[in-house]
Structure 1
Amino acid sequence: MNVYLAEFIGVAMLIFFGCGVLAGNALKTSGSYQAGNVAINIAWGCTVAMVIFCLGDISGAHINPAITIMQAVKGSFEWSLVPGYILAQIAGGMFGSLLVYLQFIDHWEKTDDVNVKLTIFATAPTIRNNVANFFSEYIVTFGLVFCILGIDTNTFPGGLKPLAVGCLIFLVGTSFGGVTGAALNPARDLGPRLAHFLLPIPGKGNSDFKYAWIPVVAPIMGATTSGLVHNALYEGIVDYRLYMMLGLTLVTFIAIKLLSKNEKVSNELISEVA
């Protein structure tokens, strides 16, 4: 199987089952309404494990542009493959979302809340704060990738490594999923968000692209920094790449803080004029 096709199928599987459990939990007539946080994160963890079992020996089962870019920056993946991987991953996310839409085709109009429908597809913070939301996606992705790379340094009996990664996804989702939805993966958020925008979902609201950059940029930066820190700690490789990522991280946080402050001032002025 072609590696790009494998990544497409892998992300489609991830979104079909992962967003499928979100739909079941959120749509009132689904039959699994209010299944709960534990059930949701078990489903995501099991899905990641299944994808690795099915496709890991073909494409490496990146199923995440942040992982692909991190591996390329580290030097363990060819840059020439990166664009194709990312396009396949995002397209897979859109296709998986289409399948979720079709699976629950008769249920969308039975639930009125537009925000509920959006969060079936895309992630959203419980408290809107760009600095805090960016930090959450950044640091949780950093931890996720650091642990995945740590898992890679161990030897497992046949078939157990994907289960370890699945358990890690369950742990991360249960611990921090409520803060921002824990995208941790640009394709997991952007693909379904684009699908939400394009699909004729009854009673849907806007797709909140104003927030969409955070679950794209923060996981990429968090994963890349984590990979380089792992290189420094485990392999003793400390070079310009690590310094550049640390500097870029600092500049990004300062920029977000300043932009958020300016936006707040502007909103206050608009409110006073109104």
Structure 2
Amino acid sequence: MMDALLKAGYRPEIERAVQQCLASQDLADHETGAVTAEAAAEHGSATAVEDGKRFRLFELSANCIDLNDRQVEVLLAMRQPNVVLFGNLLCDWECDALIESSRPKLTPSRVVNADKGTYELKRDVRTSSGAFFQRGETPLVAAIESRLSRLLGVAESRGEPLQILHYPPGAEYRPHYDFFDPARPGNQRVLSMGGQRVGTLIIYLNDVKAGGSTVFPKIGLDILPKKGCGLFFSYADDAGGLDYQTLHGGSPVVAGEKWIATKWLRLGDYLARSD
């Protein structure tokens, strides 16, 4: 696994993160987004093994996945929590085109208020800007969504709109969960739009000079941005069980800038509400 990461261009320092991950080092809780660290402590660090539930896993059958239009490499894989790093997911011109087409649409990123169900600016938590592309909005977006569906085995209808995010120097997203706590009243609105989120795919659209990693503080894993690579992780099962080990965040960009594309997957077909 380390050989594949190094050949793909990742720095040797990632070996330390992988070793920490394999040793299951449990780090202290960090501030979260949609679901708080206090809620995670209340639920405990439930796992598929401990509670008898099976979280949605990306099952690996080969080290390289043939998607007809390209060979996607598997650079890193974990089962608990389920984390997979893909190489050669997007080519350079696709990454560049997504960045350029999103520039005119960028607005400050918002977070869901779990008590009110509103989308609000929270600059102490999330300091990026972003743009959304509806399903099939452009030929490029349609081609990428089709590729992601084939890769993950999830219908395109279950994906939220592709989001492009820009992080200038100093920008970050403090550790948070991508799923929605069903006990919070404000989350009922977002849950009605396709059910619980079950997985996230982050695609790195550029190389970052320093910082900007995707960090999983509970398991000691730090993924450095690498252009064209994709990071997938899942965190929910059909019965509503949630994996609290998937606390994650985007560390501050120290030098340069960071561009990513994010695709969130739902338990059912995603249907945006206009109210």
Scaled by the length of structure 1, the TM-score of the pair is 0.24
Name the structure where helix makes up a greater proportion of residues.
1
Scaled by the length of structure 2, the TM-score of the pair is 0.24
Structure with the greater alpha carbon radius of gyration: 1
